[in-house]
Structure 1
């Protein structure tokens, strides 16, 4: 009988029944202790935020900070005890719920969701909540932690179903905000619980999708490498062409400067030669005028040059010009002097 009674109790009692199986007789005291423990174990389950049993009514109680105690009088809600000292009526008042006003983290179990492009994802997250109305948190829902957890899962599936895989991976922050807003629309007004933030902890795509993503990343990086390499080659060729262009321009400018300098030098040389010739002629003319017998000396010099140049004709050319009066050397010389005299007269007239 004891085994049958303990089989429906908690696992700890089942282990205790196993240890007591070898005992033939059990004292009434032991049986009463087991029944008392069993009755305590079947008490109403505590709230998610409760870590201890409900406090008993001892007339005077001290409520801890950041904690709200719900008091019922004769089974009906009476008041919420704030932190500090509280006085209760024996028998009539009963502390039914204990709500923590601290921020708590609720783990959202892993779940599957399908994106808009038909990719199955496995996600889990963390939900940060806080009780803002202990009355609604106690009487608005049976277990607000379980309700919020289920609402977070369904909202997550709904949001992910409207997004593609790339959008889910890139816009995780926006997805968290959408889920947080959807949870607050239901939980804050009806359950007295505020969702402070929701964070997706892990996203696990299928293995084939991961492999495809890795190949895509590898291809993208290869593409970038090729683009950068081609841009480098293009820029290198542009730089080489620019360098050659500048080189040609500089060479042409150098040649131009060289030709200009050569022309200026030649012109300067011609001017200097002309000035020197003019100066020499002026001195010669002045010497002829100032020297007695200068005209005769010049005539003699012209005749000598005439004869000398005529003698060169046979050496420098195959054609020889012979004067008709070659035998009369005197007349020949006289013709040379007459040329000089006629030229001198012409210059004098001018």
Structure 2
């Protein structure tokens, strides 16, 4: 092999190597011959005529995503920014259309998204934009599918991923939300206080009822005891008036005794002279006698009314 044959060998190797090329998975390669479309090659090791055929371009067949941010105005004159995410892919059977009919698919998709969003959002109030964001996404997908299918693109899904109103509007919405929550909290607190007051009143009423019942029972037992005491005294010749007076004086001294047993008591009982018990007994007997006389006089007056 001569020295002059080496360049030819190198050129031959270069031509042989350039005859083969690799197409990655989920990718399509477009082959042109002298500037004219020849074929579409799928994934794997492929062969072309060197110096005649060339790989004009490659298109990914994977699902791709394009995020579009649009600023527009709602029906109630609020400026809002929406972020629309468009998921799309090249249709495998329409690689030719996707490559040759459209140079900048991103720009085309963005234009349609702008057109649809700015046609739909101005028909809605701000609150409706949040509630009906899925309707906006469906409208975008429908419009894009009708337009992009011609160019070999399939719109998989569209999503309204962000709704950002004007800063002042957001502050106002936050204040309204905070006020509503404070109002609800105040209502709950008021209900809780009302329940506490009602339950406290019920408890006090029940306490008073039980207290009154206890006092009534106590008085009933005292009266029963007094009645039994009077019956015992009557058996030994003491009449009812004297017995009542004796019982009262006895209770008087019992009360003084119980007060004397309390070492920390500051109560002073007036009058508290030694003859207080005797005076009380005499006064009670005299009052009973006077009341009997008055009662007898009233009975006599009823029997013998004065003549006119």
- TM-score where L is the length of structure 1: 0.51
Taking CA–CA contacts closer than 8 Å with sequence separation of 6 or more, which of the two structures ends up with the larger relative contact order? 2
Asked if 2 retains the 8 angstrom alpha-carbon contact of 1:183 and 1:195, the reply is yes
1:143 has 2:104 as partner? yes
Contact 2:101 2:151 in 1 (8 A): yes
Indicate how the Cα distance of structure 1 residues 75 and 150 shifts in structure 2: closer, same or farther if over 3 A, else same.
same
Number of equivalent positions: 225
Aligned to 1:41: none
Equivalent in the alignment of 2:46:
86
| 2:56 maps to 1:96 | yes
Contact 1:132–1:194 under 8 Å retained in 2: yes
Which residue does 2:193 correspond to in 1?
A: 236
Q: For residues 1-350 of structure 1, what are the structure 2 equivalents within 5 Å? A: 58-72=18-32, 77-90=37-50, 93-108=53-68, 110-133=69-92, 134-172=95-133, 174-187=135-148, 189-200=149-160, 203=163, 205-206=165-166, 210-226=167-183, 228-229=185-186, 231-233=188-190, 235-264=192-221, 266-267=223-224, 270=227
In 1, are the aligned partners of 2:80 and 2:165 still within 8 Å (CA)?
Answer: yes
Distance in 2 (CA, whole Å) between partners of 1:122 and 1:212 is: 12
Q: What is the SS of the residue equivalent to 2:193?
A: helix
1:27-46 deviation line (CA, Å, top 9, x unaligned) = xxxxxxxxxxxxxxxxxxxx
In 1, the alpha carbon distance for the partners of 2:164 and 2:221 equals 85
**How far has the Cα of 1:152 moved from its partner?**
1.8
TM-score by length of 2: 0.56
**Contact 2:28–2:58, Cα closer than 8 Å, also in 1:** yes
Q: Can you give the 5+ residue segments of structure 1 that lack an aligned partner in the other structure?
A: 1-56, 282-311, 321-350
Task: Report how far residue 243 of structure 1 moved.
Answer: 1.0
1:103/1:246 Cα in 2 relative to 1: closer, same or farther (>3 Å)? same
Secondary structure in structure 1 of the residue aligned to 2:212: helix
CA distance in 2, matches of 1:119, 1:219: 16
Q: Give the 3-state SS of the residue equivalent to 2:208 in structure 1.
A: helix
Q: Which runs of 5+ in 2 are unaligned?
A: 1-16, 238-284, 294-308
Alpha-carbon separation, structure 2, partners of 1:79 and 1:98? 12
